[in-house]
Amino acid sequence: MSHGSYASYSASIMTEDEEDWEDYVKGGYHPVKIGDVFSDGRYTVVRKLGWGHFSTVWLARDSKQNRHVALKIVKSAPRYTETALDEIKLLQRLITSSTPPSLPTPSPRTRRPQRTRTPAAATSSSS
């Protein structure tokens, strides 16, 4: 691979790791910078964690609870807002359910696979 093609290949990888800057328009991503504050100063942006089709996610410091949190900032177009509200409802149901999602409830049909042993002595003693 020549240096020129490697450089263009590297550049294409770098751009795929970030959201499209053309989506920072009305209805798109909200521009966020390190140090930005939200919710009357409660959350201070520390660094970017990632991005997806309809949002960016940031590590933020919660000054009220004195801990780090993930701050998800959704694109502002109505279809993204509706999707985000559906996600919030789902997460609220998980939080209020009687069984924590991290602890699966075993069903009567779920069993661990049993190991079967072949009697090695019986097969080897037939010689």
Residues 6+ apart with CB under 8 A from 38: 45, 60, 71
> For residue 103, with 0-12 CB atoms within 10 Å meaning exposed, 13-18 middle and 19 or more buried, which class applies?
exposed
Residues 6+ apart with CB under 8 A from 25: none
List of E strands, 75-115: none
Helix or strand holding residue 44 (H, E) = strand 43-51
72 is in an annotated binding site: yes
Amino acid in the structure at residue 21: W
Q: Give binding residues for ATP as ranges.
A: 72
Q: Give binding residues as ranges.
A: 72
